[in-house]
Amino acid sequence: MSNIIIVINGPNLNMLGKREPGIYGGKTLKDIENDCLAAGADLGFAVEFRQSNHEGVLVDWLQEAGERAVGVVINPGAYSHTSIALHDAIRAISTPVVEVHISNIHAREEFRHKSMVSPAAKGMVCGFGPYGYIMALHALKNITA
């Protein structure tokens, strides 16, 4: 059985560390990747970490995960609130998906309160900063054990 977790990051997350540090903190996406690789190794997972600003690429990665990964952590960024394509891609695979948001989307602008991804995901972690990724890895360990 696979021990691969694919961590997928959507648009503008490549700007972490520069973009609105008052909301997203000072860690870069590379810092979060390093944290996920270390936590994944501790949990017995091989973590593959990816980022794209393009919705179709995220869909392709979800479909790939359905073929070869034991779980997915996804931070869809702004696509959370608009993408029926991501929703459908998650529903099309049996691999469990945990949605992550660095900020608490429910405490922000009203348009961020609804996620199109959440109804298809196994669960969501939001508002705990970059540590939410680690929480999501622990959740996947728990549900795939």
Q: Where are the beta strands (DSSP E) in 27-108?
A: 46-51, 71-75, 97-101
Q: Position 56: which residue type?
A: G
Q: CA distances (Å), 88 to each of 59, 94, 121, 139, in order?
A: 9, 12, 10, 22
The residue annotated as part of the active site, out of 24, 79, 87, 133, is: 24
The residue annotated as part of the active site, out of 54, 79, 81, 101, is: 101
24 is catalytic: yes
The continuous run of DSSP H or E covering 137 comes out as helix 131-144
- What is the chain's alpha carbon radius of gyration, rounded to the nearest angstrom? 14
Write phi, then psi, for 121 (nearest 5 degrees): -80, 160
79 is catalytic: no
- Decide if 93 contacts 119 (C-beta within 8 A): no
Q: What DSSP designation does 98 have?
A: E
Q: Looking at the annotation, which residues are catalytic?
A: 24, 101
